[in-house]
A and B are shown apart, each in its own frame.
Chain A
Amino acid sequence: GAGVSQSPSNKVTEKGKDVELRCDPISGHTALYWYRQSLGQGLEFLIYFQGNSAPDKSGLPSDRFSAERTGGSVSTLTIQRTQQEDSAVYLCASSLRREGEQFFGPGTRLTVL
């Protein structure tokens, strides 16, 4: 596709359920990033992929959060046993190289009831 896409655009779930968020980066972009944007907060870095490996997972807030990337393309962010504080917009971005401009997807708005 022409840009970064994310699905679903909105997700409402009950506390304790698991959710999977998907990111399709721009074709050929080797770097992929996940961020979280909570109401009134800035961008919180979660994880960075270079190819299929994640050299930096330092931003994952707890072991309930995990992410994988396959084929150097699609990435999935999984949140297990969701909590209300997980409610936020989850943004994915990709870039052609590490120092390059990041192209952002529209985000997935997660609401945990």
Chain B
Amino acid sequence: AQSVTQLGSHVSVSEGALVLLRCNYSSSVPPYLFWYVQYPNQGLQLLLKYTSAATLVKGINGFEAEFKKSETSFHLTKPSAHMSDAAEYFCAVIYSGGYQKVTFGTGTKLQVIP
């Protein structure tokens, strides 16, 4: 079955340190890929999306993600964490071809330590 995996349900980084949140998908066909962020007590909002135009995608708030077909990955990064980045991050996938179904990862909670 097609799936999306987020490694690490909780990630802690120091303020100013690199943020790396991992997402792997399972498909031989490049899918549509998204990262969403959910701040405490708020709804989800889109950080960035990959739609095959470019492998390195830049999003809001300094986040970016790189699509690596050879690794079936779409990891989210930010060079320097800020306290306001503390939130839960969800990777989402839509597989092209046949019936297209949206699948969300289980989420990664990011804690930023001052």
- Indicate whether A71 reaches chain B with its CB closer than 8 angstroms: no
A99 to B92, CA, bound (A): 11
Once A43-B90, A99-B51, A99-B94 are accepted as A-B contacts, the answer to whether A48 and B102 lie under 8 Å apart by CB is yes
A99 to B96, CA, bound (A): 8
Once A42-B104, A42-B106, A91-B44 are accepted as A-B contacts, the answer to whether A101 and B99 lie under 8 Å apart by CB is no
Contact size class for B?
20 to 34
Which B residues are in CB contact (< 8 Å) with A43?
44, 90, 104, 107
CB contacts under 8 Å to B, within A21-76, are 33, 35, 41-43, 45, 48, 55-56
Please determine whether B49 and A98 come into contact, CB atoms closer than 8 angstroms.
no
Shortest beta-carbon distance from A44 to chain B in Å = 8
Q: Is the interface of B mostly helix, strand, loop or mixed?
A: strand
- Indicate whether B45 reaches chain A with its CB closer than 8 angstroms: yes
Please determine whether B51 and A55 come into contact, CB atoms closer than 8 angstroms.
no
Instruction: Known pairs A42-B105, A105-B43; list 16 more (Cβ under 8 Å).
Output: A42-B90, A42-B107, A43-B44, A43-B90, A45-B101, A45-B104, A48-B102, A55-B99, A56-B101, A91-B43, A91-B44, A93-B44, A99-B100, A101-B49, A102-B102, A104-B44
Residues of A within 8 A of B (CB): 33, 35, 41-43, 45, 48, 55-56, 91, 93, 98-99, 101-107
Q: List 17 A-B contacts (CB under 8 A).
A: A33-B102, A42-B104, A42-B105, A55-B99, A56-B101, A91-B44, A99-B32, A99-B94, A99-B100, A101-B46, A102-B34, A102-B44, A102-B46, A102-B102, A103-B46, A104-B43, A106-B43
Closest 8 CB pairs of A and B: A42-B106, A43-B104, A104-B44, A104-B43, A42-B107, A106-B43, A99-B32, A101-B46
Residues of B within 8 A of A (CB): 32, 34, 36, 42-46, 49, 51, 90, 92, 94, 96, 99-107
